[in-house]
A and B are shown apart, each in its own frame.
Chain A
Amino acid sequence: MADNISREDILTELFNVGVGQAASTLSDIIDKRIGLTIPNVRILDAAKGKIELNKYLLNVAEGAVMVSSISFDSQLEGKVSLLFPADKMHHFIDLCLHETRDEFENSLEFTDIDFDTIKEIGNIVINSIIGELSNTVNIPVEYTLPDIDVLNDANAEHFVDCEDYRLVLMMFLAFDIEGTEIAGAIVINMTLNSLDDILNKIDKLYNGR
């Protein structure tokens, strides 16, 4: 158990380094002060992962989310999903684009331009997390550009696959653009073997085991 907590702490630190770089890149692009933090990373089995994710979907996103996701393979195998509450996304996109729109502020209708904006943000954030992880444990990861989707009645089943002895890395992402905060979530659903590889490498790196 003690090992488990320290692994989660190490992952939290690793991912925060990654999102810190993502925040700096995004600030450079949109020319605004951006804060990105991951309070903690939790390693959960698929069943617990689903319970935690459903809490987020119910309480923060009210079931409607904008999802940016990629599948990765090579030595590590799994899927990363970056989730945002869909009803906050028009405001979020407007902040990124320095625009203001009055109409349909809370609607769930998005244009291709909106999707492309989130695709770029997703690309930067996911790149930073997976890139940092891949670099640290020195395991190459291959993936494509993220797919963007809006799900109206999302539940954990969409993001967590119970097959193949999969585990879930679950973390919340606090996105702050000049004082406007948006609570996102990141779900990494990967095979037990992949996570074992990562954790073993971490153990070797940090504990000399």
Chain B
Amino acid sequence: MITEDLEITYWNPFMERLSGKKSREVLGKKVDQVLPALERPFFYSAVKRLTSGGNPVFFSAAMHRKLVNPDHRVNMKMNRVMLEGRSDLLLEFIDVTNQFQRISQLRDYVSQLSHLNNQLKQKEKVIEKLAYYDKLTGVANRALFDKFADKYLSMAKEHGTMLGLMFVDVNEFKLINDTYGHNTGDKVMTRVASLLTESTRKNDIVCRYGGDEFLVLLPDIRTVRDYQAIAERIEVNKKRHIVQDGYDIWLSLSIGISFYPDDGTTIGDLIEKADEYMYFNKHRLRAQQKDMFSE
């Protein structure tokens, strides 16, 4: 309790504990001297308003951090009370330190949860990559191919478009492995995957189907020209010398392509047909090479 002149008239045991100052030390002193945080214009104008109007005033612990003690957060309410015909001011301090601690803990938990959630999302991405992408070449694996093959086939049926399926085989890959080693062979395989990815469109799916075999799904083919543009880009790269690990390696690809609906109505039919065309082209190439050497 204080007088309108800010002189302390009552200081209860709670205030003794909160401030560390005994009642006998503070009685008769000015409250803004005992609690220096109150030595501010806003406090004096609040006292003036309260004294003249009598309506209560509230100070929040959040906006006034060190009202009484730096270790305790307190809200303060001020009311005018009439005592023995004299009006005094009642300053009510409410310790809300626990609230601050609880909210701070809660924010820490939320922050930790958010961090864990981000980690989980990253792990999910890794798991998805492991589940759907070929570890060596980074292109789609068979699981992802199956997923997209069904989707693209349904779209082609629905929109009346063609779906192309390319079967690609690296010629004499066993020889490359045997001659230059498996490590170099793996790198060549990665180069082939990159070559196919760079030659195809954004929505085409390049998949490593087996050891040295790739499948490429070509959705939304409306005319032969759509396919030809892709084929021409692959054609440029499919027979050439590449330098890998210091070795000059002759890289050649055999390719077969089938189309829905002309070559089949299921993905199985299309793979079978494309595989068949690929073998035909491979044998034709071998025959051409044989003729060249015999001449």
Contact = CB atoms under 8 A, between A and B. Distances in A.
The 5 closest A-B pairs by CB, nearest first: A116-B60, A120-B60, A28-B42, A123-B58, A117-B62
A37 interface: no
B223 to A, nearest CB: 50
Contacts of A29: 40, 42, 63-64
Interface of A: 21, 25, 28-30, 93, 96-97, 101, 103-104, 111-114, 116-117, 119-120, 123, 127, 130-131, 134, 140-145
Given A123-B57, A123-B58, A142-B55, A116 B41 contact: no
B96 interface: yes
B111 A119 contact: no
24 contacts: A25-B42, A28-B41, A29-B42, A29-B63, A96-B62, A96-B63, A103-B111, A104-B110, A112-B99, A112-B103, A113-B61, A116-B60, A116-B61, A116-B96, A117-B60, A117-B62, A119-B60, A120-B59, A120-B63, A123-B57, A127-B55, A142-B54, A142-B55, A144-B56
B60 A25 contact: no
A145 B77 CA distance: 9
A116 B55 contact: no
Interface string B69-100: 00000010100000000000000000010011
B87 to A, nearest CB: 14
Interface of B: 40-42, 45-46, 49, 53-64, 75, 77, 96, 99-100, 103, 107, 110-111, 114
Given A97-B62, A103-B114, A113-B103, A127 B54 contact: no
Contacts, number: 74
Given A97-B62, A145-B58, 10 more contacts: A25-B41, A25-B46, A96-B62, A103-B110, A104-B110, A114-B62, A120-B63, A127-B53, A127-B55, A131-B49
Contacts of A116: 58, 60-62, 75, 96
A145 B63 contact: no
Contacts of A144: 55-56
Contacts of B103: 111-113
Contacts of A117: 60, 62-63
Nearest to B73: A113
A120 B59 CA distance: 6
Q: Is the interface of A mostly helix, strand, loop or mixed?
A: helix
Nearest to B41: A28
A144 B78 CA distance: 11
B224 to A, nearest CB: 53
- Pick from A30, A116, A140, A141 the residue with the most CB of B within 10 Å: A116
Contacts of B96: 112-113, 116
A144 B53 CA distance: 12
A134 B53 CA distance: 9
Given A112-B96, A116-B75, A120-B58, A25 B45 contact: yes
B64 to A, nearest CB: 7
A141 B63 contact: no
Contact of A127 (B49, B63, B100): B49
Nearest to A101: B107
A131 B53 contact: yes
Contacts of B57: 123, 127
A112 B98 CA distance: 11
Contacts of A21: 45
A145 B56 contact: yes
B54 to A, nearest CB: 7
A69 to B, nearest CB: 14
